[in-house]
Amino acid sequence: MDLDAVSEVLRDFHADKLSEKEVLEKLKILPYEDLHFAKIDHHRALRQGFPEVVYCQGKTVDQVVQIVECLTKQNNNILATRATKEMYTAVQVVIPDAEYYDIAKIIMVRRGEIKVDDDRFILIVSAGTSDMPVAEEAALTAEIMGNKVQRVYDVGVAGIHRLLAQQDVLQKANVVIVVAGMEGALASVVGGLVAKPVIAVPTSVGYGANFGGLAALLSMLNSCAAGIAVVNIDNGFGAGRLASMINSMR
């Protein structure tokens, strides 16, 4: 339930379209709704501007279905990350308009208008094609949260001319998310080229000494380029959410 929904309830009460009991019934779940195995935070959209996002990994298929179904009863736009195709198939039975993005492993429900500011955009830059799942998680997260997003993929430092050819879009972006595995050097290079926030996302892509993304994480944390913030390994959602918050600030 967002601010518009609460305002509508209060207007209906003021116009005698709803009784006090009916208003209380609609508002009583605002703190959270207890499903026993999960407590759904319906107040999240009021506090932070977007409903609680479902992290599906580690949950059963039935748990994901119940949580997503519960959220859609109170919110228009829903995001569920790290979801399997099996989870999506089960969700679609009860929510036919749910969408699935296979590369990003995301379930999305879009029912409400998403207002986008066309004058500013978030740019997603990835080092290699293998980084696309994390990059797309970031991109789709930012898009459903009301941002214009552009993508520049497969421009890693092994062929740096590919990145330098994108100077125009790099300079026009309001926020840049850099997704890279291996040694994670791309974040430093981009950070040295632009005068805007850079959110670095290390991925677990790489050979043995990459240590599942730890090498890229440490490289990004130790970057000599100013203005770089680093999120956790493979955390495309976290980067997309943070970029959205920065992009919406006035």
Tens of pLDDT, residue by residue over 121-176, are 999 999 999 999 999 999 999 999 999 999 999 999 999 999 999 999 999 999 99
What is the structure's pLDDT at 116? 87
What the block records as the tokens of 172 is 């026009």
194 assigned to some structural domain: yes
**Residue 219 maps to a domain:** yes
- Answer whether residue 247 shows pLDDT above 90: yes
Q: Provide mean pLDDT across the span 34-60.
A: 84
The verdict on 176 and 220 lying in the same domain is: yes
Angle subtended by helix axes 3-14 and 20-27, to nearest 10? 170
- Angstrom distance (rounded) from CA 170 to CA 150: 10
CATH number at residue 178: 3.40.50.1970
| pLDDT reading at 2 higher than 70 | no
Residues 145 and 182 in one domain: yes
Which residue, of 91, 110, 129, is where some domain finishes? 110
Indicate the residue among 55, 88, 110 that finishes a domain. Answer: 110
Cα–Cα distance for residue pair 228/242, rounded to 1 Å: 13
Task: Report pLDDT for 154.
Answer: 94
Q: Tell whether 48 and 80 lie within a shared domain.
A: yes
Q: Are residues 244 and 127 in the same domain?
A: yes
If asked whether residues 160 and 243 sit together in one domain, one would say: yes
- CB-based contacts of 181: which residues, under 8 Å, 6+ apart? 127, 128, 130, 131, 202, 203, 204, 205, 206, 210, 213, 216
**Bigger pLDDT: 217 vs 9:** 217
Judgement on whether residues 48 and 132 belong to the same structural domain of the protein: no
How many CA within 13 A on the CB side of residue 81?
Answer: 21
User: What per-residue confidence (pLDDT) applies to 76?
Assistant: 83
What does the pLDDT average to over 199-225?
95
CA–CA gap between residue 202 and residue 126 (Å, rounded): 10
| Structural domain contains residue 148 | yes
Q: Average per-residue pLDDT in the chain? A: 90
Q: For residue 201, which of 106, 102, 133, 100 has the smallest C-alpha distance?
A: 133
Number of structural domains, the chain?
Answer: 2
Whether 136 and 106 map to the same domain: the answer is no
At 109, the pLDDT band (50, 70, 90 cuts) reads: very high
Would you place residue 1 in the very low, low, confident or very high pLDDT band (cuts 50, 70, 90)?
A: low
Do 134 and 239 belong together in one domain? yes
Which whole number is the average pLDDT over 12-33?
A: 70
- Domain, as residue range, for 61: 31-110
Residue 224 lies in a domain: yes
Residue 43: give its domain's CATH number. 3.30.1370
> Does residue 170 sit in the same domain as residue 234?
yes
Decide which of 93 and 75 is more confident. 93
The answer to whether residue 116 sits within a structural domain is no
pLDDT of residue 151: 97
pLDDT at 139: 97
Residue 30: the pLDDT is 63
> Of 110, 142, 167, which closes a domain?
110
Going edge to edge, which strands form the sheet with 99-101? 54-55, 77-81, 106-110, 99-101
Residue 29 has a CB neighbour count (10 Å cut-off) of 16
How much is the pTM? Answer: 0.85
Statement to judge: residues 102 and 126 lie in one domain: no
Strand order in the sheet with 198-202: 148-152, 121-126, 175-180, 198-202, 228-230
pLDDT above 60: residue 240: yes
